[in-house]
Amino acid sequence: MPLQGKYALITGSSRGIGRGIALKLAEQRVNIAVHYYTQVDAANETLAQVKAHGAEGCLIQADVTHPEEISRMFDQVQREFGTLDIFVSNARPELAAFYQPPMALTLDQWHTALDSQAQAFLLGVQASTRLMPDGGRIIAISYSPSGRTGSWQPWAAMGAAKAAMDALARYFAVALGPRGITVNVISPGATDDSVVSRLPTEVFQAIQVWHESGWTPMGRVGTPADIGNAVRLLCMDEAGFITGQTLHVDGGASIMDPVFPLDIQRG
């Protein structure tokens, strides 16, 4: 775009991937609404870093599992910014709120996952586009293997919620195409300072070793800055004809074949 002077809301941007996105946009002088639920100190640190990059911003607290709080969040965006050019749906609850295998999953955990992802994205897109000029950008942060795999059993509720969000993004891409608003999905792989890194230490260390051993062609797990770079690319003017797509930002992990041992795949 030139991105300087644009306005963005990134949900869940107090830390982790959301912070990485906020800072990469702030480097281009995009003004950032930093959303958080409980991590106010982390949100203030993100806002300080946004301003250190020469952008402006504000803090917005909301629980995105509740429709009335989503409405309040966008009302505040309108008061603070008056408009919105970029909406990134990234927030998710902590692991304890949903992380159970399907046979042990409670309805509360199921609803927390669905409400924080599919419902929040549905309402967020509807609300954001009332503030957004033609040519805006909407991006959902997902985990798209959820729609085709079932091996990560405790991810069942969140996997179903992410798959629903992915589908909604395609419908919204069609609905908003006439306005030149693009709607895309970014699917990170294993990423440092994310939900994956908040698994028990020994689990995350095993994930890192697995990826460094060759499962990810790039030989490492991702970083929040990697995801932020991808969001920034999709927000540029040159990406205005890309919509309804899923971009895997995973160092190539999603193109590996799980049927064959790594030694065979490497040749």
Evaluate whether residue 148 is within a structural domain: yes
Evaluate whether residue 214 is within a structural domain: no
* Distance from C-alpha of 31 to C-alpha of 163, rounded to nearest angstrom: 30
Q: Please count the structural domains in the chain.
A: 1
Evaluate whether residue 93 is within a structural domain: yes
**Exposed (0-12), middle (13-18) or buried (19+): which is 218, by Cβ within 10 Å?**
middle
Cα 37 from chain centroid (whole Å) = 15
* Distance from C-alpha of 230 to C-alpha of 191, rounded to nearest angstrom: 14
- 68-122 pLDDT, tens digit per residue, is 999 999 999 999 999 999 999 999 999 899 999 999 999 999 999 999 999 999 9
pLDDT in tens, the chain (267 residues): 589 999 999 999 999 999 999 999 999 999 999 999 999 999 999 999 999 999 999 999 999 999 999 999 999 999 999 999 999 999 999 989 999 999 999 999 999 999 999 999 999 999 999 999 999 999 999 999 988 899 889 999 999 999 999 999 999 999 999 999 999 999 999 888 787 777 788 888 888 888 888 888 999 999 999 999 999 999 999 999 999 999 999 999 999 888 888 878 777
Evaluate whether residue 207 is within a structural domain: no
Evaluate whether residue 197 is within a structural domain: no
* Distance from C-alpha of 30 to C-alpha of 47, rounded to nearest angstrom: 12
CATH code of the domain in which 231 resides: 3.40.50.720
* Distance from C-alpha of 7 to C-alpha of 266, rounded to nearest angstrom: 44
Evaluate whether residue 267 is within a structural domain: no
Radius of gyration of the CA atoms of the chain, in A: 18
Range of the domain at 228: 7-192+224-251
Evaluate whether residue 65 is within a structural domain: yes
Evaluate whether residue 90 is within a structural domain: yes
Residue 139, SS3 per DSSP: strand
